[in-house]
Amino acid sequence: MKDVNTPNRSLGVAVVGTGWGCLTHVPALRAAGFDVRTLVGTDPERTSQRAIASDVPQASTDLDRVLADASIDAVVVATPPETHVDVVLAAVAAGKHVLCEKPFATTLTDAIRMRDAARSNGVVHAVGHEFRWQPHMAATAQTIRSGAIGDPTLVTHVRINGIIAGPQASAPGWFQKTENFGGWPNAEIQHVVDEIRMSVGEFATVTAMEGQVTKHDWDAPETFLVQFTTVDGAMGTIQSSIGAYGPMVNLQRVTGTAGSVWTAMDGTVMMHDGTSERIVEPRADLVGDPSDMPTRQAEGIASSNTLSAALSGATRFIRPTQLLHEAFRDRILGRERTEWPPLPTFDDGVANTAVHAAIRRSVETNLPQTVDAAVVVA
């Protein structure tokens, strides 16, 4: 691995995955100061087309050759979940720093393998939890962690929309199949788990169910419910769906022994301290230009299926992803950060996967499950 302790030096990065990798990571990496040199995919023609649309100079379907390139310092893995472990292990073995999208792993065993390999090879490792940098989520987490609402006791998380409501909706092939770790629960759970872990604390127990609230031609669910407790005694519910007709519902509220903090539909964070309400302003550096993707690039990448078409317009994720990559770059360059939020590492990937695995067990058994706390502190 190269000597990286040179301030502001150029860092070459390869993005593996031509969907979300191009839609969000490529523009976010550039905004964060990385040199995006190579796009890696599985289909030669599609990879070449999307590299051109994204202004990435090289396109390749040969991951081993890309990993052998000394100009590549880091790799971003934005492929379907079941492929993460092989790509990450190969990149780590090649001495590359790695940021892997969530869900980090499809099994707890694979999550631990990736974490341990990254530790052994001494590379910087991170997971794609860009929501930590969403202004309202960061403000909420900091309010709770400051003790402003006392000890958290009740968590309510509701996120519902109709992106793929009804039988006419379509999604990428892997997303439609439970056997490929598809479906909305697998896509969303680790984001929500990370959000709650960062603000309220570690999970202790979970009880979960999932299903389809409108009919689809595939077997993977688009809706899930989770009840949980934390090791510090809070209880909570998570309800999420992208298959529900009607307007969006988005509610995050945490009540504690001394107050409550919640997010309004417009993204404003409010707090009640037991006597009155007030607005909680996010840190100024978390609010900024959304770094919208050029129209030509979005049009060159967007897929025709309903889910991908909807996500192609989600440029609001580029700004928090930029901040995630800035934290990743600082860690590679040996710069110490003290401000919130911390970089999500493979340690967080294991902790989030442990909760996810317990949720999967609960769905399969229809019984409450205990989260494997031993792997969280290993």
Query: What pTM did the predictor assign?
Result: 0.92
Q: What is the structure's pLDDT at 315? A: 62
By CB atoms closer than 10 A (0-12, 13-18, 19+), residue 57 is exposed
- Nearest in space to 100 (alpha carbons), one of 35, 20, 174, 177: 20
Q: What is the structure's pLDDT at 3? A: 47
Cα–Cα distance, 334 to 306 (Å, whole number): 42
Cβ neighbours of residue 285 under 8 Å, at least 6 residues apart?
Answer: none
Q: What is the structure's pLDDT at 308? A: 73
- Nearest in space to 72 (alpha carbons), one of 80, 63, 81: 63
Category of 366 on φ-ψ map: left (φ > 0), alpha (ψ -120 to 50) or beta: left
- How far CA 78 is from CA of 81, 166, 206, 330, 351, in Å, comes to 8, 27, 28, 21, 20
- How far CA 48 is from CA of 54, 73, 185, 300, in Å, comes to 10, 22, 32, 11
Residue appearing with tokens 């690039």 = 297
Q: What is the structure's pLDDT at 295? A: 46
Cα–Cα distance, 219 to 222 (Å, whole number): 10
Residue 236 backbone dihedrals phi, psi, to 5 degrees: -165, 170
Helix (H, G, I), strand (E, B) or coil at 41: coil
Which residues, in sequence order, are bridge partners of residue 255?
154, 260
pLDDT averaged per 10 residues, the chain (length 378): 60 95 93 97 95 95 98 97 97 98 96 97 97 93 95 97 93 90 94 96 97 93 98 97 94 96 90 94 79 51 71 73 96 91 97 97 98 78
Helix (H, G, I), strand (E, B) or coil at 188: helix
- Nearest in space to 181 (alpha carbons), one of 242, 110, 99: 110
